[in-house]
Amino acid sequence: MSKVFEIIAKEEKRQRENIELIASENFCSENVQKAVGSCLTNKYSEGYPGKRYYGGCVHVDELEDYCKETWQKVFKTDYHVNVQPHSGSGANFGAYLAVLKPGDTVLSLELNNGGHLTHGSPVNLSGKIFNFVFYGVDEKGYIDYNDLREKALKYKPQLILAGASAYPRIIDFKKFREVADEVGAYFMVDMAHIAGLIAAGVHPSPFGLADLITTTTHKTLRGTRGGLIFCKQELAKKVDSAIFPGTQGGPLQHVIAGKAVTAEEALQPEYKTYIENVVKNCKAMCDEFIKMGYRVVTGGTDNHLFLLDLTDKGVSGKQVQEACDEVGITLNKNCVPNETRSPMQTSGVRIGTAAMTTKGFTAAQFIDTAHKIDEVIKKLQANL
Ligand code: DSN
């Protein structure tokens, strides 16, 4: 047997046995895995349905059209959708390229305050090509909408970006739209983390408000690893050419098949129940930490994640992440607002409930896990 399958078996065991609390991870279904592992990986299909650069595309054309229609149903939208981005980062670059020129100004949330690497970090291509400026969060950790407006008036960005990797509260897309209109900017939402909540109707939708919406399909959407871009119909051509030939070559039709199965699953009534449980479990676990005397950024959560602020505990996020790994609890270190430690150390950890809710964890089990993490932190403090 190939060594690869031995490694996969070990990873399969790790995923089965560990308590998985990384807020951006989930467990996709066997059907999604079957589609992604199918013969579609053999097929080249540069271009779009009906306009390919290769023969033999009749079935992948049908697949890609079906995938697009199914995602439009998930988000109850008539926006154009491009299902080819290989990842969330690729989707973001496609969206930027569709409406921006190098050097244009973009206003986004700072990475340290919950933003994402591709939202203009200086170490990422986004921050090298475009002139990113940032809005922040207030002293409690909520998006500072006054700061957003002030920065928009000051910098006159071509694009305003909403969306985050570590933000535990509802995002007010209407406020973003108003500010974008005031300064004549495009409005883009990266909904990767909360896409499942939007699909299930437990977070307000950006459809109808944003010009461009990007997402991954593997976080709360619980599907294959990949990206999508939605846009208003008038931007369809620009978005499509920004993905192919702008930033990608041949699409991954096996992944597009996985995305289509993901969309079918998100349309099932059980999916809405699943997402409601993700949010309920997240609040239960977060409240338990607060009862135990922990500081939580913004004092709580409205979605699938929360951020423990360990500043007053004398331990770093890295130490907690590593000590949790040793007891089979997987989470990640994360910066907190006004971070004083480096991103490799951090003063916080991010905790999410999407993956373990898929495994059937109840609120009581999440509360029990909060106590296990508390024990880990107390042991670290005892050894200081
Ligand atoms: N790196 C992902 C996360 O963990 O949130 C986002 O791309």
The arithmetic mean of pLDDT across residues 164-175, rounded, is: 97
Question: pLDDT (tens digit, 9 = 90+) per residue, 266-296?
Answer: 999 999 999 999 999 999 999 999 999 999 9
Query: Would you kindly state where each structural domain of the chain is located, as residue ranges?
Result: 30-266, 270-382
pLDDT for res 114: 87
Residues making up the chain, counted from first to last: 384
- Annotated catalytic residue 44: yes
User: pLDDT band for position 1 (50/70/90)?
Assistant: confident
In this prediction, residue 289 carries a pLDDT of 98
One of 25, 190, 309, 339 is an active-site residue; which one? 190
Name the active-site residue from 219, 259, 318, 333.
Answer: 219
Could you tell me the pLDDT band of residue 338, with boundaries at 50, 70 and 90?
A: confident
Distances (CA, A) of 163 to 206, 213, 246: 10, 10, 24
Continuous segment of H or E residues that includes residue 63: helix 58-74
To the nearest 10°, report the CA torsion of 191, 158, 127, 172: -30
161 phi and psi angles, rounded to 5 deg: -115, 130
Q: What is the CATH number of domain 270-382?
A: 3.90.1150.10
Say whether 190 is catalytic.
yes
- Identify whether 104 is a catalytic site residue: no
Residue 225 designated active-site? yes
- d(C-alpha 375, C-alpha 165), whole Å: 27
Check pocket membership of 352 for ligand 1, CB cut-off 6 A.
Answer: no
pLDDT tens per residue across span 197-249: 999 999 999 999 999 999 999 999 999 999 999 999 999 999 999 999 999 99
Q: Give 312 or 384, the one with higher predicted confidence.
A: 312
Ligand 1 site-directed mutation target among 219, 221, 304, 330, most atoms within 8 Å of CB? 219
Sequence-distant (6+) residues with CB within 8 A of 27 are 15, 20, 222, 355, 358, 359
- The set of residues, in sequence order, having a beta carbon less than 8 Å from that of 38 and lying 6+ positions away, is 254, 257
Whether the predicted pLDDT of 322 surpasses 90: yes
Instruction: Read off the pLDDT of residues 123-132 as tens digits, 9 standing for 90 and up.
Output: 999 999 999 9
Mutate to test the pocket of ligand 1, among 87, 116, 225 (most ligand atoms within 8 A of CB): 116
Domain 30-266 adopts which CATH fold?
Answer: Aspartate Aminotransferase; domain 2 (3.40.640)
Q: What pTM does this model have? A: 0.97
3-class DSSP state of 160: strand
pLDDT at 384 over 90: no
Per the structure block, which two tokens stand in for 276? 């409601």
What's residue 182's pLDDT?
98
Residue 355: the pLDDT is 98
Does 56 have pLDDT greater than 90? yes
Biggest alpha carbon distance in the chain? Answer: 66
CA–centroid distance, residue 352 to ligand 1 (Å)? 12
C-alpha dihedral over 148, 152, 158, 162, to 10 degrees?
10
Q: How high is the mean pLDDT of the chain?
A: 97
pLDDT, position 141 = 95
Cα–Cα distances in angstroms (integers) from residue 107 to residues 7, 139, 154, 183, 349, in the given order: 42, 20, 11, 12, 26
User: Closest Cα to atom 3, ligand 1: which residue?
Assistant: 24
Q: What's the 105 CA to ligand 1 centre distance in angstroms? A: 23
Provide the pLDDT for residue 111: 85
* E strands present in 111-184: 131-135, 159-162
Give the distance (Å) from ligand 1 centre to CA of residue 85. 16
The atom number, within ligand 1, closest to the CA of 88 reads 7
Return the number of other C-beta atoms located less than 10 Å from residue 216's C-beta.
Answer: 26
* Å from CA of 117 to ligand 1 middle: 9
Residue located nearest, by CA, to atom 6 of ligand 1: 165
What's the rounded mean pLDDT across residues 293-317? Answer: 97
Average pLDDT over residues 63-85: 98
Q: What are the tens digits of pLDDT across the range 7-52?
A: 999 999 999 999 999 999 999 999 999 999 999 999 999 999 999 9
Q: If we measure between CA atoms, which residue out of 61, 126, 123, 52 comes closest to residue 88?
A: 126
